[in-house]
Amino acid sequence: MSPGGRLPLLLVAVTALAMTPLACTGLGEGLTYYRTPSELRPAGGEHVRLGGLVVPGTAHPDGRELHFSLTDGTKTIDVVHTGYRPPVFREGQGVVAEGVLGADGRFRSDRLMVKHSEEYRAADGSR
Partner 1 sequence: MGDELAGNDAVAAGRRRLERCLGTGALAACAAALALGLVIAPPDALQGETQRLMYVHVPAAWAAFAAFAAVSGAGAMRLWRGEGVWERLGRAAAELGAGMTALTIALGSLWGRPVWGVWWTWDPRLTATAAMLLVLLAYLALPYWPGGDPVRRARLTAATGVAGFAVVPVVHFSVLWWRTLHQPPTFLRPPGQVPVHPAMFAALIAAAVAFALMGAWVVLRRVRDLEPAPARAAEPAGESCGRVLVRSAA
- Residues in the annotated binding site for heme: 116, 120
Contact flag: residue 71 with partner 1 (CB under 8 A): no
* DSSP label of 37: G
Backbone torsions φ then ψ of 42, nearest 5 degrees: -60, 155
Nearer to partner 1, 106 or 111 (CB): 111
CA distances to 6, 8, 15, 18, 71 from 11, in Å = 9, 5, 6, 11, 47
Nearer to partner 1, 75 or 116 (CB): 116
CA distances to 11, 72, 78, 80 from 106, in Å = 47, 15, 5, 7
Backbone torsions φ then ψ of 125, nearest 5 degrees: 90, -5
Q: How many residues bind partner 1 (CB under 8 A)?
A: 39
Binding piece for partner 1, criterion CB under 8 A, among 13-21, 29-37, 53-61, 62-70: 29-37
Which residue in 15, 25, 85, 102 binds partner 1 (CB under 8 A)?
Answer: 85
Residues at the interface with partner 1 (CB under 8 A): 1-6, 8-9, 30-34, 51, 84-90, 96, 111-127
